[in-house]
């Protein structure tokens, strides 16, 4: 029997959940003896197991499997580890018809492997496990998804059952409540319901179509982004969506990134749909001789890029094939680097804070000194770059994890993961130093010594991907955006058709003052219109009837605060204008 687990630790929970995945596999084999087992690891907050079986699993099957799992738990079977020669294990799993286990064994170089038994069930596994099935107390099966064997679309499609397991029923209930809240915030559903975006299979998976209200949201974010950059000395640029393949050979992307790139031919020449913006920005930098007096030069662009992602990983706006990077590249001297990094961090924190994100997790990814051949640039240059990133983080008082060996080959980087209203992490902002591209393109400046020097280049993005950031915003706010971001900031609701003329005048006045407003002209009951405006998550509803028309007022109802009473139209316009201008959350 294995030792009692401490479920307050990550390792303890992983062992506990991995044991639950074995119990689930055992239950599936009891109910579907012809099922073939693939893999069943623990994952964040749960576990899964992949099965090859002819019957398509439905929600009612999960109920039956869960019921059988409870029987197995009630039988309190011991998990018994057995080590055996690999050849013997191959014979065992061949005799059981477990072709996926055989394939796994054929890829193992060790002469000895371990299997685990509990009751009649046996599985290839390194372990560890809990001592007995009876120790697994609180679990729930969640859903079924398709998964290619070993993640390869050329392999068979398996059925993956996801589940979760916790130490107590109270912890399980709390987790299920969090999952339910996350489902209510799902940006895919809300994005469609609120008219923000959609993805159409007939047009191509992973390609986002912004609907009218989404386009307004996108424009609002972009306008703010541009104003922030212009105020901080950035130049806005724009580059084409395609470029000759030779540019990407020169940059090294063809060598390192080819499987993620789209290519096309025009007049017997190969072109590439750009997977990133940096080579184009370097071409603009190189269009003139640059002096040390010209630096720093900061180029910024909302540039759409295209990257091939397998269909199995695409997910709404969060994982797509075409997305817009809020990209910027800073060209500077080594002496200017610390100040530029500090300025980027200031901008990141200000921008994310404006959108309501105040909590972050920060990673500083540096090289592994034991593997110098894996990185471009000299050790001295790496030390300078890493020190600049480190000192900038320390100066801002930002807690961070230093992760050795996680730097990209062309330089160290800072990654900022923001935390949303549910405490979930979203990778958005990144600041990356580059030793690679300036040398490949011969990007230089003339120093005070009248000699050419290779320019220092920093890649940075605040949102990362505009699509992913908007998806995070939708889920963070549950679609109820603050007024400055809301696609519709106010809706005018006439009590009846005879008040429509006054309502139209109110609507026109709002729009004249730059407020994004609509007028609900339908011949429906006022209560229905208010409820529908609430569902559409409009910040303000202005109800107008005979009393309001006579007094020149509007009855204001707030999405968040309810009935605010009657106000003059001018007073409401001034108050909402101030709220929008201050970007109040």
Burial (CB < 10 A; 0-12, 13-18, 19+), residue 52, is middle
Q: Which two tokens stand for residue 375?
A: 């990185």
Annotated active-site residue in 50, 327, 415, 520: 327
Read off φ and ψ for residue 221, nearest 5 degrees: -65, -45
Pairing of strands 121-124, 138-148: unpaired
**Is 327 an annotated catalytic residue?**
yes
Q: Please choose, from the candidates 346, 412, 420, 401, the residue with its C-alpha nearest in 3D space to the C-alpha of residue 375.
A: 412
Annotated active-site residue in 18, 274, 307, 476: 307
Radius of gyration of the chain (CA): 29
**Is 307 an annotated catalytic residue?**
yes
CA atoms within 13 A on the CB side of 328: 31
**In 560-584, which positions are buried (b, 16+ CB within 10 angstroms) versus exposed (e)?**
eeeeeeebebeebbeebbebbeeee
Annotated active-site residue in 187, 413, 536, 537: 413
Annotated active-site residue in 61, 253, 298, 459: 459
**Is 459 an annotated catalytic residue?**
yes
SS (H, E, C) 521-569: CCCCCHHHHHHHHHHCCCCEEEEECHHHHHHCEEEEEECCCEEEEEEEH
Annotated active-site residue in 36, 253, 274, 278: 278
**Is 329 an annotated catalytic residue?**
yes
Annotated active-site residue in 185, 187, 253, 329: 329
Distance separating alpha carbons of residues 461 and 324, to the nearest angstrom: 11
**Is 325 an annotated catalytic residue?**
yes
SS (H, E, C) 168-201: CHHHHHHHHHHHHHHHHCCHHHHHHHCCCEEECC
Q: Which two tokens stand for residue 410?
A: 């062309």
Q: Given its phi and psi angles, is residue 397 left (phi above 0), alpha (psi -120 to 50 degrees) or beta?
A: left
Read off φ and ψ for residue 558, nearest 5 degrees: -95, 140
Q: Which two tokens stand for residue 77?
A: 């079977």
Read off φ and ψ for residue 176, nearest 5 degrees: -65, -35
CA atoms within 13 A on the CB side of 131: 7
Cβ atoms of 470 and 320 within 8 Å: the answer is no
Annotated active-site residue in 325, 336, 432, 489: 325
Cβ atoms of 161 and 49 within 8 Å: the answer is yes
Residue 7: which residues within 8 A CB-CB, separation 6 or more?
13, 16, 167
Q: Please list the active-site residues.
A: 278, 307, 325, 327, 329, 413, 459
């Amino acid at each position: 029997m294995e030792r009692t687990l401490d479920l307050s630790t990550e390792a303890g929970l992983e062992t506990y959940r991995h044991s639950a995945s074995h119990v689930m596999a055992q239950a599936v084999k009891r109910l579907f003896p012809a099922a073939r087992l693939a893999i069943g690891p623990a994952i964040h907050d749960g576990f899964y197991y992949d099965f090859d079986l002819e019957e398509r699993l439905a929600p009612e099957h999960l109920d039956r499997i869960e019921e059988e799992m409870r029987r197995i738990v009630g039988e309190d079977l011991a998990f018994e580890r057995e080590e055996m020669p690999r050849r013997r294990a191959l014979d065992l799993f061949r005799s059981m018809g477990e072709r996926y286990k055989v394939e796994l064994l054929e890829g193992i170089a060790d002469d000895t492997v371990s299997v685990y038994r509990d009751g009649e069930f046996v599985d290839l596994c390194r372990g560890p496990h809990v001592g007995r099935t009876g120790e697994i107390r609180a679990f729930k099966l969640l859903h079924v998804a398709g998964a290619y064997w070993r993640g390869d679309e050329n392999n068979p499609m398996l059925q993956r059952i996801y589940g979760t397991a916790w130490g107590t029923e109270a912890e399980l209930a709390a987790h299920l409540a969090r999952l339910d809240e996350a489902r209510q915030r799902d940006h895919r559903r809300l994005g469609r319901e609120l008219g923000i975006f959609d993805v159409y299979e007939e047009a191509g998976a992973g390609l986002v179509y912004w609907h009218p209200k989404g386009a307004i949201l996108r424009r609002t974010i972009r306008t703010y982004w541009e104003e922030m950059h212009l105020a901080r000395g950035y130049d806005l640029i724009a580059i084409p969506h395609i470029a000759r393949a030779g540019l990407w050979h020169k940059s090294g992307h063809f060598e390192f990134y080819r499987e993620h790139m789209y290519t096309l031919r025009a007049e017997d020449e190969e072109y590439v749909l750009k997977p990133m913006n940096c080579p184009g920005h370097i071409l603009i930098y190189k269009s003139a001789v640059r002096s040390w007096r010209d630096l720093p030069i900061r180029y910024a662009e909302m540039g759409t890029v295209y990257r091939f992602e397998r269909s199995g990983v695409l997910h709404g706006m969060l994982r797509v094939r075409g997305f817009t990077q809020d990209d910027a590249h800073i060209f500077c001297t080594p002496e200017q680097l610390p100040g530029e990094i500090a300025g980027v961090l200031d901008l990141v924190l200000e921008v994310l804070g404006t959108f309501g994100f105040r909590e972050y997790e920060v990673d500083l990814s540096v090289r592994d000194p034991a593997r110098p051949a894996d990185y471009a640039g000299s050790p001295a240059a790496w030390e300078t770059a890493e020190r600049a990133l480190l000192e900038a983080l320390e100066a801002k008082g930002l807690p961070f994890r230093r992760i050795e060996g996680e730097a990209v080959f062309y330089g160290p980087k800072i990654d900022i993961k923001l935390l949303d209203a549910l405490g979930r992490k979203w990778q958005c902002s990144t600041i990356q130093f580059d030793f690679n591209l300036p040398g490949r393109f011969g990007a230089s400046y003339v120093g005070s010594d009248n000699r050419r020097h290779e320019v220092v280049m920093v890649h940075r993005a605040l949102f990362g991907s505009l699509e992913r950031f908007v998806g995070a915003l939708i889920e963070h706010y549950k679609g109820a955006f603050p007024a400055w971001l809301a696609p519709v900031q106010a809706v005018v609701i006439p009590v009846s058709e005879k008040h429509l003329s006054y309502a139209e005048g109110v609507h026109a006045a709002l729009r004249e003052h730059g407020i994004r407003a609509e007028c609900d002209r339908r011949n429906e009951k006022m209560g229905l219109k208010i409820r529908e405006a609430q569902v559409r998550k409009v910040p303000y509803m202005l109800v107008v009837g005979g009393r309001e028309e006579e007094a020149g007022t509007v009855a204001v109802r707030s999405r968040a605060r309810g009935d605010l009473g009657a106000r003059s139209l001018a007073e409401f316009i001034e108050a909402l204008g101030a709220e929008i201008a201050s970007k109040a959350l």
